[in-house]
Chain A
Amino acid sequence: MAGAARFSHRLPGGATWSHILRRGEVLELVDVGGGANAALLLIAARDPSERLNLPDTLKAQHVARITAGVALYSDMGRVMASVIEDSCGWHDPLAGHARNAELEALYGPSSFETDGNGRRTGAREELILELAKHGLGEHNLMATINLFSKVTVDEDGRLRFHPDHSPASARVALRADMEVLVLLNAGPHPLDGSPDWRPRPIELAVRVGEPAANDDFTRVACAENERGFAATDRACA
């Protein structure tokens, strides 16, 4: 489990952050006031062509939600990170991230000149900018997970966004199972549709930790994960 914090950082609502986690380190996210959302993208630090693959993640574990015990798989059949703690029970892997144009349609135009540092920016454009800081580009932007958000699917396949899913102080912790570049945008969920622009802050902490033990609960959750972790250990230990 997670140890001492190496550092912490408050990510303002709507803002973007990236950091390379070492194998075994834990990224803890706390939804300070409730109702937060964070788009999450993972890219292997040693080879940016290896990245979070949501279809592989979902079908290996037969899930359409992310919660504790779920492994986040790369396209190479390896586990990039695992959800080791989760107090809110459901994170959305289905709805993607918002574009500037979607926010503009809801809230009108926004710029630094008119709105200063509270300006509205789309998660997509923010993530592409953050990728560029690592020498990466639009090609590297894959499907993201919306931490702290819940979207269910009815029998006809229709999406339903559940507002205020995440209570104040909700907490989720991700263990890096390989050295991994983490990108986060704390903009609202793209289906939020709230009449007010109210992106919520997230308190981040990077904690010392250990790679998944042989009896780690995500590793032993299913035969698929046993094989995925074995492949990860071979490549990254």
Chain B
Amino acid sequence: MSAVTDQLVESALEPADAVLDLTVAPGDGWIGELEAGQHLRIVDLYGNQAVDTLFYDAHDYANRYSALDTVRGQGAIYLTTGSRLLTGRGDSLATIVADTCGRHDTLGGACSQESNVVRYGEHTRHMHACRQTFLTQALAWGRGLDKRDLAANINFFMNVPVTAEGGLTFEDGLSAPGKYLELRADRDMLVLISNCPQLNNPCNGYDPTPVKLLAWAPDAVQRPHQ
């Protein structure tokens, strides 16, 4: 079982039918629930924009997305159409059902002020970072969600290849303006997004840009627009 594919898959769903349609500014975030069966599309409007994303069982936040369980479950480190996003307990939170980019990162995690200092130097300490957004959104959401719940995230549209010798690099993204991925919620889930503000590496092409979120009701998914 492997999600590795060169096949880009488009979705039949129409933006006009979406029940959620919003733009997340660079450096901003979004948190919200999707019910089982809903589809969520993330559109990289301007290209090469990392979208750091965490997923939780909407009814039990300890049952959260686990990068390594997801990687082990599909036997491969990159995400694309067919990838199931698993929790540490092995439950499927969501499945990627369409992807016009082709590769998304499971290993790079989120930037933070603290890791920026390590990676780039003291002068970056007070630059905006994804974990600032994650915490801001989590604390605003309440319901007990806090730092403990921030495990390794997915970086949609980010390209972090691993070499056969065990090296890891941040490469220019494979994404481009208008590329998107779409996932289906396999259970009621909470989604936490940071639209990455990183300026110190190529993950956002050194120019963070807005992304669009679209979601459809489960019945729209069952009767796609022809």
Same complex: yes
Near B by CB (< 8 A), chain A positions 87-132 give 90, 94-97, 99, 101-102, 124
Q: Mark B89-116, 1 if CB is under 8 A from A, else 0.
A: 1100000000000010001111011110
Which residues of A lie under 8 Å from residue B149 when comparing CB positions? 139
Q: Bound state CA distance, A144 and B68, in angstroms?
A: 9
Of the residues B61, B77, B107, contact of A55 by C-beta under 8 Å: B107
Chain A residue nearest to B201 (CB atoms) is A59
Q: Bound state CA distance, A12 and B18, in angstroms?
A: 55
Contact in complex: A53, B117 (CB < 8 Å): no
Contact in complex: A56, B147 (CB < 8 Å): no
Which residues of A lie under 8 Å from residue B112 when comparing CB positions? 56, 75, 77
Contact in complex: B90, A53 (CB < 8 Å): no
Contact in complex: A224, B119 (CB < 8 Å): yes
Near A by CB (< 8 A), chain B positions 67-86 give 67-69, 71-72, 75-78
Which residues of A lie under 8 Å from residue B169 when comparing CB positions? 62
Q: Interface size (B, Cβ < 8 Å)?
A: 47
Contact in complex: B164, A54 (CB < 8 Å): no
- Chain A nearest CB from B70 CB (Å) reads 9
Q: Bound state CA distance, A63 and B166, in angstroms?
A: 6
Given contacts A56-B115, A59-B119, A227-B121, contact A96 B107 (CB under 8 A): no
Given contacts A94-B77, A96-B71, contact A139 B4 (CB under 8 A): no
Q: Bound state CA distance, A183 and B63, in angstroms?
A: 21
Near B by CB (< 8 A), chain A positions 155-208 give 155-159, 190-191
Contact in complex: A77, B2 (CB < 8 Å): no
Of the residues A58, A77, A99, A158, contact of B90 by C-beta under 8 Å: A99
Given contacts A62-B168, A63-B166, A95-B72, contact A153 B77 (CB under 8 A): yes
Identify the A interface with B (CB < 8 A).
Answer: 49, 53-56, 58-60, 62-65, 73, 75-78, 90, 94-97, 99, 101-102, 124, 137-144, 152-159, 190-191, 224, 227-228, 231
Identify the B interface with A (CB < 8 A).
Answer: 2, 4, 61-62, 66-69, 71-72, 75-78, 88-90, 103, 107-110, 112-115, 117-119, 121-122, 131, 147-152, 160, 162-164, 166-170
Interchain residue pairs with CB less than 8 A apart (11)? A49-B147, A53-B109, A95-B68, A96-B72, A124-B89, A143-B152, A153-B163, A156-B4, A227-B118, A228-B118, A231-B117
